[in-house]
Amino acid sequence: MLQACLNGARSPREHHHLPVHPEQLAAAAAKCAAAGATELHLHPKYPDGTDSVDPQSVAAALLAVRAAAPGVPVGVTTGAWTAPDPRDRIAAIRGWTVLPDHASVNWHEPGADDLAAALLDRGVAVEAGLSSGTDGPAHFRESPARGRVLRILAEITDPTARGAATTARAHLDQIGPTGTPILLHGEAAGAWPVLTLAAREGHDARIGLEDTLQLPDGDIAPDNAALVTAAVALIERR
């Protein structure tokens, strides 16, 4: 499975084709699906470009993206930066009028178990975000949601091309065998070495402007679809 992560917590100041508004997310989603992405991950945003879990923002983004890329599963973030108090995020989740197929929950952030429970109660699958260099894996091992998540989102925060794959290997060892599918991804210059490792070891992968602005050769990618095209080519060579 190759997931396209369309925008992340970035702003258009970082890339001129970063999709923010629903119609921009829809256009990016359609191009990524055509390029070979089989799932989508996005951050709904307020009109000012900041990340949101507000029901209106989530509904607008999901309706636009699903119309443009019908049948492609779509996930959203529930990261702490969208609303610092997890109780506010839980209240927003309970108010969602349009539901994503899945949502990511970061287990190094407070309230992860309660957020996961709120999502599962609504029938939304959970990606368990376990970031390298955090206590997320330890918390997840003790979580009542451990056996109920869709997949583990193994996030490698080493941004270097030289060290990211080594960090990823150590992080996978720290997570250990769980019987749960793993989506392995990196960031910045580390995104491509980690994607290569994921392809080689048979893990799910993701790519997009949330994770990196650069193509494998170091050039700035024109858009999300170009990153997906490069990722598909890399995976097919493995």
DSSP string, 51-92: B---HHHHHHHHHHHHHHSTT--EEEE--GGG-SSHHHHHHH
pLDDT category, 87, cuts 50, 70, 90? very high
Across the chain, what does the average pLDDT equal? 96
Give the mean model confidence (pLDDT) for residues 187-203. 96
Question: Residue 223 to residues 1, 33, 47, 80, 83: CA-CA distances in angstroms?
Answer: 20, 13, 21, 27, 28
Give the per-residue pLDDT at 178. 87
DSSP the chain: -EEEE--TT--TTT-TT---SHHHHHHHHHHHHHHT--EEEE--B-TTS-B---HHHHHHHHHHHHHHSTT--EEEE--GGG-SSHHHHHHHHHH-SS--SEEEEETTSTTHHHHHHHHHHTT-EEEEEEETTSSHHHHHHT-TTGGG-SEEEEE-----TTTHHHHHHHHHHHH---SS-EEEE--GGGHHHHHHHHHHHT-EEEESTTT-SB-TTSPBPSSHHHHHHHHHHHHHH-
pLDDT category, 193, cuts 50, 70, 90? very high
Q: What angle do CA 176, 179, 185 make, to 5 degrees?
A: 65
Per-residue pLDDT at 238 exceeds 80 = no
* Segments making up each domain of the chain, as ranges: 2-237
Give the mean model confidence (pLDDT) for residues 73-90. 97
pLDDT category, 40, cuts 50, 70, 90? very high
Hey, what are 15's tokens?
Answer: 């890339």
Residue 143 amino acid letter: S
Tell me whether strands 102-106 and 125-131 are parallel, antiparallel or unpaired: parallel
% of the chain surpassing 90 pLDDT: 97
Question: Residue 228 to residues 23, 43, 141, 164, 169: CA-CA distances in angstroms?
Answer: 20, 18, 32, 20, 23
In terms of CATH architecture, what is 2-237? Alpha-Beta Barrel (3.20)
Give the mean model confidence (pLDDT) for residues 6-30. 96
Give the mean model confidence (pLDDT) for residues 30-57. 97
Give the per-residue pLDDT at 177. 87
The pTM score is 0.95
Residue pair 61/25 in contact by the 8 Å Cβ criterion: yes
pLDDT category, 202, cuts 50, 70, 90? very high
Cβ neighbourhood burial of 178 (10 Å; 0-12, 13-18, 19+) = middle
Nearest to 208 by CA among 184, 183, 233, 191: 191
| pLDDT tens-place string over residues 115-131 | 999 999 999 999 999 99
% of the chain surpassing 70 pLDDT: 100
